[in-house]
């Protein structure tokens, strides 16, 4: 077990991810990359545990999912082969996202609670099946040089907070690729932070980061207290 993973498991999650992210793209291909992979996989295993807990605990609070059958879907058996195909076409994706694909899968916590007045709770969603990304990549390539050229290709993994509430909103939360780094900046997300920090903030509010800055219900505090730090 490397030192960074030991520090991570000892409770220094933010510090370890800050150190890894600060190395930028220089880490890939070095001796430190294997340690970064260890940390990223350990992180996403904790993320999966948190997602599974929320999927189980939320209905008991009175929360109702928009799509109950789509709340959590684990990775398909051939995820490694799918990722190889994906990176072959779009270039390297951030390590954190790759490990999400490998360890977690698809998550959609959108829904509502009868006692919550806040509409824009920004429920945690990370739902970007590789076949969808590849189709979007094909469309992006065909649009290059035309009036529909979108510039840098992005992996769109979640609707924005307004669309999650069924209201016309803005662009989806996305990660630009290629990105050979450990983590990446989430585009269009209110916190303007990295993918791992987006997940961390989500779990700090029981899967609903939109509660930040508002009077947080007791049920949200209780849910957050049952989740693992990442």
Instruction: Count CB-CB contacts under 10 A for residue 218.
Output: 8
What is the pLDDT, as a whole number, of residue 27?
87
Q: Is the pLDDT of residue 66 over 80?
A: yes
What is the pLDDT, as a whole number, of residue 24?
79
Rg, C-alpha atoms of the chain: 18
* pLDDT tens string 179-205: 999 999 999 999 999 999 999 999 999
156 assigned to some structural domain: yes
What is the pLDDT, as a whole number, of residue 190?
94
113 assigned to some structural domain: yes
> Cα–Cα distances in Å, from 141 out to 80, 138, 173, 228?
24, 5, 20, 40
Read off the pLDDT of each residue in 140-156 and give the average, rounded to a whole number.
95
What is the pLDDT, as a whole number, of residue 158?
98
130 assigned to some structural domain: yes
What is the pLDDT, as a whole number, of residue 55?
98
Tokens (6 digits) for 27:
């880490």
Read off the pLDDT of each residue in 93-98 and give the average, rounded to a whole number.
98
Within 8 A by CB and 6+ apart from 185, the residues are 175, 176, 192, 193, 194
What is the pLDDT, as a whole number, of residue 90?
97
Number of helical H runs and strand E runs in the chain: 9, 7
192 assigned to some structural domain: yes
Residue 3, CB-side half-sphere exposure with 13 Å CA sphere: 5
* pLDDT tens string 8-50: 999 999 999 999 999 878 888 888 999 999 999 999 999 999 9
Q: Is the pLDDT of residue 1 over 80?
A: no
Read off the pLDDT of each residue in 210-229 and give the average, rounded to a whole number.
97
Read off the pLDDT of each residue in 99-103 and give the average, rounded to a whole number.
98
What is the pLDDT, as a whole number, of residue 25?
83
* pLDDT tens string 67-88: 999 999 999 999 999 999 999 9
> What φ, ψ does residue 204 adopt, rounded to 5°?
-65, -20
Please give the model's pTM, rounded to 2 decimal places.
0.96
What is the pLDDT, as a whole number, of residue 133?
98
Identify the domain containing residue 219 by its residue range: 3-225
Total domains, the chain: 1
119 assigned to some structural domain: yes
Output the CA torsion 112→184→196→4 (10° steps): 170
230 assigned to some structural domain: no
Task: Determine the Cα–Cα distance for residues 193 and 102; give it in Å rounded to an integer.
Answer: 22
């Amino acid at each position: 077990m490397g030192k960074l993973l030991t520090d991570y498991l000892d409770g220094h999650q933010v510090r370890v991810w800050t150190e890894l992210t600060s190395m930028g793209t220089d880490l890939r291909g070095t001796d430190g990359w294997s340690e970064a992979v260890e940390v990223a996989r350990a992180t996403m295993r904790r993320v999966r545990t948190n997602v599974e807990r929320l999927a189980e605990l939320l209905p008991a609070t009175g929360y109702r999912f928009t799509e109950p059958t789509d709340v959590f879907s684990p990775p398909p058996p051939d995820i490694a082969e799918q990722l190889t195909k994906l990176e072959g076409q779009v270039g390297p994706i951030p390590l954190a996202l790759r490990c999400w694909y490998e360890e977690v899968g698809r998550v959609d916590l959108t829904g509502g609670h009868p006692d919550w007045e806040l509409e824009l709770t920004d429920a945690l969603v990370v739902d970007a099946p590789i076949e969808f990304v590849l189709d979007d990549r094909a469309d992006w390539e065909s649009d290059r040089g035309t009036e529909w050229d979108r510039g840098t290709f992005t992996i769109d993994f979640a609707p924005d907070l307004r669309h999650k509430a069924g209201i016309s909103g803005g662009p989806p939360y996305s990660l630009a690729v290629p990105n050979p780094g450990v983590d990446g900046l989430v585009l269009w997300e209110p916190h303007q932070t990295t993918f791992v920090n987006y997940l961390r903030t989500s779990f700090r509010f029981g899967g609903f980061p939109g509660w930040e800055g508002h009077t947080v219900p007791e049920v949200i505090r209780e849910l957050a207290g049952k989740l693992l730090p990442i």
